[in-house]
Structure 1
């Protein structure tokens, strides 16, 4: 297959565009909320609570959202979720208009957004294999990852710049981006495979967990990323680094937030053109260890240029884990199970970002921002070395070809 040929597939191109716009909107919202909350409270604990507010609904709804994604049209689910996120951004816009002086309503909206993303993530992940041929899945996954990374470059920078014009401006732009993502997903035209319509039951709800437990390679990959992201949540403390350590403003925060995505976009585009053909397991563990080392370098930096380089290296190493893990999950999961397995994947990966932010905020509140980042980086390396011994089949994985 010629490099980039999946992007000539119209359904996948619409999917990719929706991912870009949704991710841009979410990243802009994250920068704006982080700066606004820290400006109001001047508290690392308060920043950690933003992550917790997004994590709780994702955790509580995990089993339900997977079952929903396996029973109903995944495009419709994604459309509804993007629309709800747009309404949440509109509420923040109205709050900025009225001059909210406390963070309570912001936490509530963060929880609603977290609930919407809980339904969105497994639905979009399960939809992807229906858009491309099995042999194209690794490249499609890499391009899909590049959508997120592109958004993580544009979103934080745009969020920081627009916040300089006022919270009303940035939240208004976020509202438009979420609604554009909703219409992009709604425009996808495919014949989805017929999925099971069994009644909701405890057995059906927990079947995704049982499936993952029966696949040591999948379980090892998901749990490895869970702990790596949980411990390596340095990005949650970027408002503290930007304001108190690197002495920059909202624009500087946006650039710092974008830096990991610069490295990740470079890595994902490379993997889209040159997929991993061998030693995928070794590459996975090497990427996680490099992620930990880059986290430590960022934690020790007092120079914004060095910090940007470390964050870019962090993103480049992380994308290896994302592509390997996602490809393994999609290739080894039957279509009728992808929603439930994707929901567990979202819990292990997506929500670990929010829980990682909470952990980083709490650790920084106790020990300071720099020790919190260093502890996370060292912990990530330790987990990777331990997982190499606990999951030898994952380490021995050679190929991701379908």
Structure 2
């Protein structure tokens, strides 16, 4: 009983610390993107902002995964958080004293992207070191629930601060979040991994070993291929959300924050179900269903008329989008944490990050000119249709190859 209480308390300290950090990050991210949307009103500029934020993931994900497996995951996570907080502090100071051009936001987003690239696989690999295998679905549900709460409150806080204070003050919430998250992780004792000979392998060999995890597990291979193809269409949508509210529906930043809030409510509701009553056995199949749901809701959001009443339907669609994303992500993360050996987990998660980080910039390069010319709502429709077709096609293939095995 005492052992059970110990891992639970340690997990909650880490999870709450990360939630506070994400709260500050989501608030600042919303304020920065809305600031950019108001100043430029350009899908292309917002596309570039997403590109520079995700490009570091493309370049550094393999290195981040190897670092998470080879070095101290706790140190990597704390250092990354504090580095991102320091960047926010420096940029806040420069904004306070100087009238900086808009493009300087891209520099900040790029540096923050590097920190996030190293932090994510480290944290994802720490969780199974703290949590028993049979509790991973629930604990991932709790992690997503706290993340959803950050999504829920972050944009509201960001919009409120943006309406009252200059951007230099808004950025300080990110600094505070990074400090608190680092303190929370610092007080938790993370069990050490046993050192293996694999740690001395060549860099390229370690990257190949991370890829081999997916090649050896056909169930995992199919769902990751589906995610990679679908993210090409879906990932750019996150950069276009502000323009759906400001340009398509012609509404203010507060309405934009409500859209983000709606997305977070969907995430929170689904996370709560996963962390409490839902018991998932066939995790990969459920992950496919979530991916298909993301496509269906994107398509529906793209055909909503640009009226005030239409905006309420858009907000409702965003609730379902947030829920579908968790239905895809939570079972997939739990499956990976259950089946992949601890010494390879960082590399495996970094490969997943690499896939999304590669598809995001390519998708933005492809989608931004289209959205610029025909409207962001049309891209919502196109992306939703393509995601549904791709998911259905790969699910049929998956069922014929792996259908007899429980996943």
| TM-score, scaled to structure 2 | 0.91
Paired position in structure 2 for 1:327 = 334
- Relative to structure 1, the CA distance from residue 306 to residue 383 in structure 2 (aligned partners, 3 Å threshold; closer, same or farther) is same
Deviations 1:233-273 (A, max 9, x none): 42321221111122222222111122112111100110111
The question of whether the paired residues in 2 share the 8 Å contact of 1:61 and 1:115 is answered with yes
The question of whether the paired residues in 1 share the 8 Å contact of 2:130 and 2:191 is answered with no
The question of whether the paired residues in 2 share the 8 Å contact of 1:264 and 1:316 is answered with yes
Paired position in structure 2 for 1:236 = 239
The correspondence for 2:343, drawn from 313, 323, 336, is 336
Paired position in structure 1 for 2:394 = 387
User: Could you tell me how far apart the structure 2 residues matched to 1:21 and 1:367 are?
Assistant: 38
- Relative to structure 1, the CA distance from residue 361 to residue 355 in structure 2 (aligned partners, 3 Å threshold; closer, same or farther) is same
The CA deviation at 1:204 is: 1.9
Deviations 1:99-133 (A, max 9, x none): 54422221111111111111101101111101111
User: Could you tell me how far apart the structure 1 residues matched to 2:200 and 2:24 are?
Assistant: 35
Residues 1:209 and 2:211 are matched in the alignment: yes
User: Could you tell me how far apart the structure 2 residues matched to 1:363 and 1:37 are?
Assistant: 19
Paired position in structure 2 for 1:121 = 120
The CA deviation at 1:278 is: 3.8
Deviations 1:367-399 (A, max 9, x none): 321111111110110111111133235666645
User: Could you tell me how far apart the structure 2 residues matched to 1:101 and 1:83 are?
Assistant: 24
User: Could you tell me how far apart the structure 1 residues matched to 2:120 and 2:190 are?
Assistant: 19
Paired position in structure 2 for 1:308 = 315
The question of whether the paired residues in 1 share the 8 Å contact of 2:148 and 2:268 is answered with yes
Aligned residues: 396
- Relative to structure 1, the CA distance from residue 394 to residue 322 in structure 2 (aligned partners, 3 Å threshold; closer, same or farther) is farther
Deviations 1:15-61 (A, max 9, x none): 11122122222212221221122223221111001111011111111
Paired position in structure 1 for 2:45 = 46
Paired position in structure 1 for 2:253 = 250
- Relative to structure 1, the CA distance from residue 250 to residue 68 in structure 2 (aligned partners, 3 Å threshold; closer, same or farther) is same
User: Could you tell me how far apart the structure 1 residues matched to 2:359 and 2:272 are?
Assistant: 25
Deviations 1:184-210 (A, max 9, x none): 111211322224331543212321012
The CA deviation at 1:153 is: 0.8
- Relative to structure 1, the CA distance from residue 218 to residue 322 in structure 2 (aligned partners, 3 Å threshold; closer, same or farther) is same
User: Could you tell me how far apart the structure 2 residues matched to 1:191 and 1:31 are?
Assistant: 36
User: Could you tell me how far apart the structure 1 residues matched to 2:42 and 2:321 are?
Assistant: 25
Paired position in structure 1 for 2:225 = 223
- Relative to structure 1, the CA distance from residue 202 to residue 251 in structure 2 (aligned partners, 3 Å threshold; closer, same or farther) is same
User: Could you tell me how far apart the structure 2 residues matched to 1:254 and 1:359 are?
Assistant: 27
The CA deviation at 1:325 is: 0.9
Aligned-residue Cα RMSD (Å) equals 2.2
1:344-363 maps to which residues of 2 (within 5 A)? 344-349=351-356, 352=359, 356=363, 359-363=366-370
Paired position in structure 1 for 2:56 = 57
Residues 1:294 and 2:297 are matched in the alignment: yes
Name whichever of 371-380 and 166-175 sits farther off: 166-175
User: Could you tell me how far apart the structure 1 residues matched to 2:158 and 2:360 are?
Assistant: 19
The question of whether the paired residues in 1 share the 8 Å contact of 2:25 and 2:177 is answered with no
The CA deviation at 1:353 is: 5.4
Paired position in structure 2 for 1:269 = 272
Q: Which runs of 4+ in 1 moved over 6 A?
A: 5-8
Name whichever of 361-370 and 68-77 sits farther off: 361-370
Structure 2: runs of 5 or more not aligned: none
Paired position in structure 1 for 2:200 = 198
Paired position in structure 2 for 1:104 = 103
The question of whether the paired residues in 2 share the 8 Å contact of 1:90 and 1:172 is answered with yes
